[in-house]
Amino acid sequence: MPKKSVKASGQLTLRRVAIDTYRENVAYLHRECETYRAEGFQALSKIEISANGNTILAMLNVVDDAGLVAPGELGLSEQAFAQMKLEPGTAVSVAHAEPPASMEALRKKISGKRLDAKEYQGIARDIAAHRYSKMELAAFLVAADQTGLDRDEVLFLTQAMTDTGTRLNWHEPLVADKHCIGGIPGNRTSMLVVPIVAAHGMLIPKTSSRAITSPSGTADTMEVLAEVELSPDKLHHIIRHQRGCIGWGGTANLAPVDDVLISVERPLSLDSPGQMVASILSKKLSAGATHLLIDIPVGPSAKVRHMHEALALRKLFEFVGDRLGIHLEVVITDGRQPIGRGIGPVLEARDVMQVLDNHPDACDDLRQKALRLAGRVLEFDPDVRGGQGYAIARDILESGRALAKMNAIIDAQGRKARQPSLGPLSFAINAERDGTVIDIDNYHMARLARFAGAPMDKGAGVDLLKKLGDTAKKGEPLYRVHAEFQSDYDFALRMTKEHGSGYTLGAAEDLPKAYVEF
């Protein structure tokens, strides 16, 4: 079918409306406006606004107050106004928005069919141009999730998501990155791997995310120590000078399709292997990474619960990574319990700094995992002999060079004058019997830390006093919950009463073996 041509329409005068509608462009037309009546628009119609060759899409709101927008004017919310890049008073024209060109491909996916590379390119282009509504995005994701994407489709989607954004070029042959697929509370290895690797001189331009469903993201924890909301220019400057950075990635606008898809996947708890691989690899390719280490934790309450799933996921990463020209290695790690002791920004920052300080109380599991990951990243360096990475990483850590690099990065990002402190309201959960800790439920501990206020309240969270294999006497504390507000304290306490501690005590021989020695 030919596309319906856009009907000509009257000219309107552009006006800025001081309303912040975040990711959604909103346009305002007065109900008595000729154009509104002639075009047959209605509130929530999607319209296309054009002037001087620039076109944006916006959702229409209808105004009955000429003080806000008068007939003959077109109001735009702040973000939409900024996108138009025009002065108030400029003449603009409006028309019904075309439906996205890729709607046919979307319907094909909804009906359960396989799509080809060109169809994924079309879908990614429309998503990047904000032509998809949230509804269409959800339909695409649920359909892709339910019918499953075959590995060629994952490749096509990853390629399309990468092609629709900017791709940074660091003009260096080796640009390293590491990424964990998530699901393990307290797993703040990036805040150790980045300073170690950067201290070695390798470029590691890692941007981090904030927590969405977890009790803290790397960016949330780093924010206890330093500013993380950095402009792209500042981010670049720090990376060039420090070889690494631990900033929030939200301002960089890399792989924009991924950001859009995530905004739908998270609230719907969609987390299929295909989407995960496409999301992670498109982001890393866009950020200019040439070498990438992927961490897949496996455990009974991790995202990946069985070794065969971890292997299938590893092969999918390898298949797509190889075809897109990124040097990719996957490590499968022990995901039976949280890493470190603290869960929540302040507690995790404490754990990280204790490792960097070579403090005697530093969590050994966090330290070991970070050293092994850093070692594997260092071995991307052709001058590092295979198997020597770990020793180099340990040397960088023990010599204090990692700490010095971390301090330099903190100062470059902007050191917090006053660090937030631990939540003053706290209660302990005690062992109800003697025994050995044989299970700690990752999901339960993450939820508990969130209920206590993390990550919004930086000082809220859970401090684990016993880990797997530790013995506890009846009445001895297993962990302590910290909150900043009474309501959160009450709420977290109620959760432990209703749903148990998340810990299982038993006989030492019942402690399940780690799936892997990492």
Contacting positions for its own copies (CB under 8 A): 1-2, 4-5, 7-8, 17-24, 26, 28, 31, 40, 42-44, 61-65, 67-68, 77-78, 106-107, 110, 112, 133-139, 141-143, 145-147, 264, 267-270, 447, 451, 456, 487, 491, 494-495, 498-499
Instruction: Pick the closer one to its own copies by CB: 406 or 493.
Output: 493
Instruction: Write down the least CB distance from residue 121 to its own copies, Å.
Output: 21
Instruction: Pick the closer one to its own copies by CB: 21 or 419.
Output: 21
Strand (E) or helix (H) holding 350:
helix 345-356
DSSP assignments along 309-325, one per residue: HHHHHHHHHHHHHHHTT
b/e burial code for range 186-224 (CB count within 10 A of at least 16 → b): bbbbbbbbbbbbbbbebbbbbbbbbbeebbbbbbbbbbb
Q: Which two tokens stand for residue 297?
A: 């934790």
Instruction: Pick the closer one to its own copies by CB: 2 or 173.
Output: 2
Start-to-end CA span in the chain (Å): 57
Instruction: Write down the least CB distance from residue 354 to its own copies, Å.
Output: 29
What is the rounded distance in angstroms from the CA atom of residue 272 to the CA atom of residue 518? Answer: 25
Name the pairing type of β-strands 477-483 and 73-76: unpaired
Instruction: Pick the closer one to its own copies by CB: 55 or 147.
Output: 147
Instruction: Write down the least CB distance from residue 88 to its own copies, Å.
Output: 13
Instruction: Write down the least CB distance from residue 462 to its own copies, Å.
Output: 16
Beta strands in 128-222, from DSSP E residues, in sequence order? 176-180, 207-208
Please answer whether residues 78 and 21 qualify as being in contact, where contact means their C-beta atoms are separated by less than 8 angstroms.
Answer: yes
Q: Which two tokens stand for residue 76?
A: 């735009």
Q: Which two tokens stand for residue 24?
A: 């959604």
Instruction: Pick the closer one to its own copies by CB: 45 or 290.
Output: 45
Instruction: Write down the least CB distance from residue 487 to its own copies, Å.
Output: 6
Smallest CA-to-CA distance from 343 within 196, 489, 443, 490 is with 443
Smallest CA-to-CA distance from 189 within 321, 376, 392 is with 376
What is the rounded distance in angstroms from the CA atom of residue 284 to the CA atom of residue 22? Answer: 25
Give the three-class secondary structure for 151: helix
Q: Which two tokens stand for residue 475?
A: 């009445």
Phi, psi angles (nearest 5°) of residue 37: -75, -40
Instruction: Pick the closer one to its own copies by CB: 66 or 324.
Output: 66
Instruction: Write down the least CB distance from residue 45 to its own copies, Å.
Output: 9
What is the rounded distance in angstroms from the CA atom of residue 283 to the CA atom of residue 285? Answer: 6
Contacts of 82 (CB under 8 A, 6+ apart): none
The verdict on whether 177 is a catalytic residue reads no
Instruction: Write down the least CB distance from residue 380 to its own copies, Å.
Output: 37
Instruction: Pick the closer one to its own copies by CB: 100 or 288.
Output: 100
Q: Which two tokens stand for residue 349?
A: 């920052």
Name the pairing type of β-strands 247-248 and 207-208: parallel
Q: Which of 271, 357, 395, 470 is catalytic?
A: 271
Just list the catalytic residues: 271
